[in-house]
Amino acid sequence: MRITVAILLLSIFASGQTVQKSSPTDQDLTAEQKALVVKLANLQKNFGKKMNSPGVDLSLKEISRWRASDRTLVKYEVYATGLPRDLTYSLLKIQINGKVLKQMDGVTLDSDGRAICAGRKGTCSGSTPNSPIDLVFFAGKSEPMRLSLVSNDDSHLKGFIQVIPFPTSVTDRGCKLESIIGTPKGEVTYIQGSGFEPNEELTMEGASYGEKNHGVAKAEADGSYFAAAMPNVLGKTSGTTMWSVKGKSCDPTLTFSWGTYQLE
């Protein structure tokens, strides 16, 4: 999906969406493109615990990271609570375009809730019985790795977890902002925040190549903030964008890049 627009903000709130443009564009989004952006933004906004089956929680434990030729590899193990140990699970990866890929079948859990390959009939096999499942990722800056464990029985119990191996984030007096790419080159970038006062009014400022946007938002009941940005500027193929969200007691200002992709 190629989109050439000026700064365009799709702020996703419980009450709906708002769209702001800083200057005329040479190509507006079609209704279909806008619907896709909103769909993927809502997936990112809600990804994780909000999508879990009741009582289920997943976590990722980083084991190691090392450099290999042109990229850094990061190894994780998956842990689950609230999922029965007598069931088998499928390990899924949810890509940034929303496509779901099955990574592994026949996953089970050990007594610590760690995802393993038991090596018995109906389960996956590792180098030895009950081998921990090592997930090795490589990624670009601000690129999310999104995973799910789903039971293979009729209950379809599920848990979701996300990790960003190479984050772009900033904190100010307990408030945090982080950028997460929504397309490979950041043509869509999500801004997620936390630590604001529940339901407080927030003032947003954005700027890219001198084009500025101003908006008013509202923190969620848990003090979180979310917006989806399309920071492309006419005549520019890449650049940086400044994004500031001001609350009553904090004012984090984040700078993120768009228009390029490089493995870390």
Q: What is the total count of domains within the chain?
A: 2
pLDDT, tens only, 70-103 = 999 999 999 999 999 999 999 999 999 999 999 9
227 belongs to a structural domain: yes
228: CATH? 2.60.40.3080
Question: Which residues span the domain enclosing 12?
Answer: 8-48+166-258
Q: Which long-range contacts (CB under 8 A, 24 or more apart) does 167-174 make?
A: 167/142, 168/141, 168/142, 168/254, 168/256, 169/254, 170/252, 170/253, 170/254, 171/195, 171/252, 172/250, 172/251, 172/252, 172/253, 173/249, 173/250, 174/249, 174/250
Q: Among all chains, which residue has been given the structure tokens 């507006």? A: 28
User: Where are any strands of DSSP class E within the chain?
Assistant: 8-13, 16-21, 57-68, 71-81, 89-94, 100-109, 115-117, 131-132, 135-137, 145-151, 158-163, 168-172, 175-181, 189-194, 201-208, 211-218, 225-230, 239-246, 253-258
The reply to whether 155 and 192 lie within a common domain is no
Per residue in 141-175, pLDDT tens? 999 999 999 999 999 999 999 999 999 999 999 99
Residues 154 and 67 in one domain: yes
Do residues 29 and 94 both lie within one domain? no
